[in-house]
Amino acid sequence: MKKIGAYFVIGLVVAFVGVLFSDIFADFFNGLPYGTGAVLGMCAYLCVVVITCTGIIISKIEEKSGSKEKE
């Protein structure tokens, strides 16, 4: 049960960082309408999160398969 709470808090932090990143991204590209810049910022943030999570999952799979091959 402790892990579920920890993952929930991590998820909230990641979501909050995403909102901040989206807002900063929209302000950085001030030539675009704010809504378009915010959507692009959120998409860029989601790309980073998906790539990071995929790398973590793949490294865990390789770690587990590597330990089975050694036995």
pLDDT in tens, 8-28: 888 889 889 988 988 888 888
Q: What kind and span of H or E run contains 34?
A: helix 34-70
Express each pLDDT in 34-49 by its tens digit. 888 889 989 999 998 8
What is the pLDDT at residue 70?
58
- What is the C-alpha to C-alpha distance for residues 4 and 14, in angstroms, rounded to an integer? 15
Pick 37 or 67 by higher pLDDT: 37
1-36 b/e (C-beta count within 10 Å ≥ 16 → b): eeeeeeeeeeeeeeeeebeebbeebbeeeeeeeeee
- What is the C-alpha to C-alpha distance for residues 5 and 11, in angstroms, rounded to an integer? 10
**Chain length of the chain:** 71
